[in-house]
A and B are shown apart, each in its own frame.
Chain A
Amino acid sequence: GENVEQHPSTLSVQEGDSAVIKCTYSDSASNYFPWYKQELGKRPQLIIDIRSNVGEKKDQRIAVTLNKTAKHFSLHITETQPEDSAVYFCAASIGGSQGNLIFGKGTKLSVKP
């Protein structure tokens, strides 16, 4: 079946450093790639997304890059802050259905002050 691989599973950085999380997907028909941030016991929150017709998107300290040929996409967080600590999930749409997503296993990001 379709699959999304996410790495690393845990990531620890010093405040102010950058953090990068990478995902690969298997469904060549996927065309929508959102990233969610989930704090402990809370709902996942959409932080950024990218569609297949775009190679890069940036929103303040957060950026996402997409390489459709290689089927991988990455989340970049610059100037990390302790409040960035959370679990981050990447996801890829199943075929052309934007709402139907398959999720990566998550990355626990810890930002040390």
Chain B
Amino acid sequence: GAVVSQHPSWVICKSGTSVKIECRSLDFQATTMFWYRQFPKQSLMLMATSNEGSKATYEQGVEKDKFLINHASLTLSTLTVTSAHPEDSSFYICSASREQIDEKLFFGSGTQLSVL
């Protein structure tokens, strides 16, 4: 199947610092990528839709200045959690749509963020 790489897999940071998470589609181009947040034993909550070459679309309640998304190429989207606080601690996971083939969605391996 298609491969979506996400890094880092886990990160621990101090409160107030910023953390960047990368999501790469390794064997297909993705105009559209998605960022989710997943709390323990809960479902995937869509945070934003990342569009290559344009601004991301954020879901209601998600602060765009807090969660900066950049989709600079057809294979890379980044999520930057700015001025992280303990309440931002969560599992963040990306997905990429294999639009040019079958539009199926493939997920990255996720990033566990812990803010101290």
Mark out the residues of chain B between 1 and 28 whose CB falls within 8 Å of any chain A CB in the assembled complex.
1, 4, 6
Tell me which of A11-19, A38-46, A75-83 binds B. A38-46
Tell me which of A53-61, A64-72, A100-108 binds B. A100-108
Tell me how many residues of A have a C-beta within 8 Å of chain B: 21
On chain B, the residues within 8 Å of A43 by CB distance are: 4, 6, 93, 107-110
**Contact at A102–B46, with CB atoms within 8 Å?**
yes
Interface size band for B: 20 to 34
Most buried by A among B1, B43, B110: B43
**Contact at B42–A98, with CB atoms within 8 Å?**
no
**Contact at A105–B103, with CB atoms within 8 Å?**
no
**Contact at A44–B107, with CB atoms within 8 Å?**
yes
**Contact at A89–B44, with CB atoms within 8 Å?**
yes
A99 partner, pick from B1, B41, B105, B110, beta carbons under 8 A? B105
Q: How far, in angstroms, from A49 to B1 measured CA to CA in the complex?
A: 14
